[in-house]
Amino acid sequence: MNMRVATSLMTAIAIAISTGSFTGRNVSAAQVEDQENGQQSQNKMEKKAAEIGKKLDELEQKMKTAKEEVKADMSRQMDELREMQKNVQEKLREMKTASGKALLDAKEGAKSAMDDLQNAYEKARARFSQ
Q: Is the pLDDT of residue 21 over 70?
A: no
Mean pLDDT of the chain: 80
- Residue 104's pLDDT band, with cuts at 50, 70 and 90, is confident
Q: Dihedral (C-alpha) 24, 34, 51, 127: value to the nearest 10 degrees?
A: -120
Q: What's residue 96's pLDDT? A: 87
Q: Is the pLDDT of residue 76 over 60?
A: yes
Q: Is the pLDDT of residue 41 over 60?
A: yes
**Spatial separation of the C-alpha atoms in residues 97 and 99, rounded to whole Å:** 7
How many CB atoms neighbour CB 99 within 10 A? 14
**Residue of 107, 113, 109 whose CA lies nearest to 34:** 107
Tell which wins on pLDDT, 68 or 34.
68
- pTM tops 0.85, yes or no: no
**Spatial separation of the C-alpha atoms in residues 30 and 82, rounded to whole Å:** 36
Provide, rounded to the nearest whole percent, the portion of the chain with pLDDT above 70: 70
